[in-house]
């Protein structure tokens, strides 16, 4: 199934926030997780993910820190902040509204 660009862009924020809610993560891992969670349907590009991450950080929904991984490489991790959690609840409600509206039989 081809998912439209607009929908991918719109769903990026809630998906990233959801993943970060469970545990801190980094760019490469986020893309992988999204792919797994969506059964390979949602494949994000780096050019799309990082700008969103940086914007979320700027809006103070998430924060970043550098951490050494097991293989000795330094990775930039992202962590969900209080505001981000609120934003996630907010976005979820919006998605639910859209979903409920779509599911109603007309």
User: What is the footprint of another protein within residues 56-95 (CB under 8 A)?
Assistant: 58, 71, 73-76
Examine residue 27 and tell whether it contacts another protein (CB under 8 A): yes
Examine residue 55 and tell whether it contacts another protein (CB under 8 A): yes
Examine residue 36 and tell whether it contacts another protein (CB under 8 A): no
Segment near another protein (CB under 8 A); pick from 3-11, 12-20, 52-60, 91-99: 52-60
Q: Which residue has the tokens 């820190």?
A: 65
Which DSSP letter does residue 24 get?
-
Phi, psi for 28 (deg, rounded to 5): -60, -40
6 vs 105, beta carbon nearer another protein: 6
5 vs 74, beta carbon nearer another protein: 74
Whole-number Å distance between alpha carbons of 94 and 29: 26
Examine residue 51 and tell whether it contacts another protein (CB under 8 A): yes
Q: How far is C-alpha 58 from the geometric centre of its chain's CA atoms?
A: 15
59 vs 94, beta carbon nearer another protein: 59
Enter the tokens of residue 62: 């998430």
Q: Which residues pair with 56 in a beta bridge?
A: none
């Amino acid at each position: 199934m081809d998912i439209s660009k607009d929908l991918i862009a719109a769903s990026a924020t809630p998906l990233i926030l959801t993943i970060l809610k469970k545990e801190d993560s980094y760019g490469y891992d986020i893309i992988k997780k999204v792919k797994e969670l969506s059964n390979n349907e949602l494949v994000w590009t780096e050019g799309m993910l990082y700008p969103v991450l940086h914007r979320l950080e700027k809006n103070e929904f998430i924060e970043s820190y550098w951490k050494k991984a097991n293989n000795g490489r330094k990775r930039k991790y992202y962590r969900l902040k209080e505001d981000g959690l609120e934003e996630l609840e907010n976005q979820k409600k919006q998605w639910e509204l859209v979903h409920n509206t779509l599911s109603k039989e007309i």
